[in-house]
């Protein structure tokens, strides 16, 4: 059985979306270390398929967090190297909990992982969209428009680290999405309505697949991807680039 005291984090950093995502996971890594976990952190150029395989073999982590680009049936690592693909090597997650912060993997890859024996899959059934405010490119952790999205991702990850049940982790994530949605209603920012729109989008496309069933919002089945999204897509990790200078 995998080691419940070990976690593996795969976080690429080779473009603006992944620089944001990898930066925002730093507090999660610090929190895991504080709790006494053995943390394997594959960051930037260390985030390769070979290193991922080696880390799985050496530390045998129960929790695996993958933060990069993805699509319905794949997730990548540094420089878009293929990391996992459905019905190819997704059995690597057998008996593990896999949290994929990447676009669309909840459509095919996540269910395939679960069928191959993963304890649970957490991720998104559509593009994971977040907002970027110009001027913060070199300091993502200070970006007020990105904070609601990544704070919520971190809340989910930390719930898992705290040993909460998958239902509790799901409820913590949904609750945090709702917290930020409510908060931004009162923020005097011209981008507030868009920030709320995409927080709702991410919330309603966040799912957990586990032996206890499928955790999803009641409106997820009614969510459809618009034919034209007003955003830039970077191979499965999406962000909105705002032009307002507020």
Summarised one tens digit per residue, pLDDT across range 25-84 is 999 999 999 999 999 999 999 999 999 999 999 999 999 999 999 999 999 999 999 999
Q: What is the pTM of this model?
A: 0.92
Summarised one tens digit per residue, pLDDT across range 135-181 is 999 999 999 999 999 999 999 999 999 999 999 999 999 999 999 99
More confident residue, 8 or 236: 8
pLDDT at 22: 97
> DSSP H helical segments within 87-191, as ranges?
109-115, 147-161, 166-184
**Is residue 231 over pLDDT 50?**
no
Report the distance separating Cα 164 and Cα 167, nearest Å. Answer: 8
pLDDT at 218: 84
Mean pLDDT on 13-34: 97
More confident residue, 197 or 243: 197
Q: Are 83 and 66 in contact (CB under 8 A)?
A: yes
pLDDT at 192: 95
33 contacts: CB under 8 Å, gap ≥ 6: 39
């Amino acid at each position: 059985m995998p080691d419940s005291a070990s976690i593996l984090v795969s976080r690429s950093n080779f473009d603006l979306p992944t620089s944001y995502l990898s930066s925002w996971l730093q507090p999660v890594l610090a929190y895991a270390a504080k709790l006494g976990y053995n943390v394997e952190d594959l960051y930037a150029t260390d985030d390769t398929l070979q290193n991922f395989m080696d880390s799985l073999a050496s530390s045998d982590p129960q929790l695996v967090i993958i933060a990069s680009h993805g699509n319905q049936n794949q997730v990548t690592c540094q420089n878009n190297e293929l990391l996992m693909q459905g019905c190819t090597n997704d059995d690597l997650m057998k008996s593990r909990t896999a949290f994929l912060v990447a676009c669309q993997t909840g459509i095919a890859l996540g269910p395939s992982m679960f069928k191959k024996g993963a304890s649970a899959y957490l991720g998104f059934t559509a593009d994971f969209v977040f907002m970027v405010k110009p001027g913060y490119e070199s300091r993502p952790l200070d970006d007020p428009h990105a904070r609601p999205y990544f704070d919520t991702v971190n809340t989910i990850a930390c719930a898992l680290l705290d040993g909460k049940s998958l239902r509790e982790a799901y409820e913590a994530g949904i609750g945090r999405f709702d917290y930020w949605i409510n908060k931004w209603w009162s923020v005097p920012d011209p981008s507030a309505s868009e920030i709320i729109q995409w927080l709702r989008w991410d919330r309603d496309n966040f799912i957990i697949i586990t032996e206890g069933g499928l955790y999803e919002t009641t409106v997820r089945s009614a969510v459809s991807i618009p034919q034209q999204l007003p955003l830039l897509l970077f191979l499965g990790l999406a962000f909105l680039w705002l032009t307002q200078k507020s």
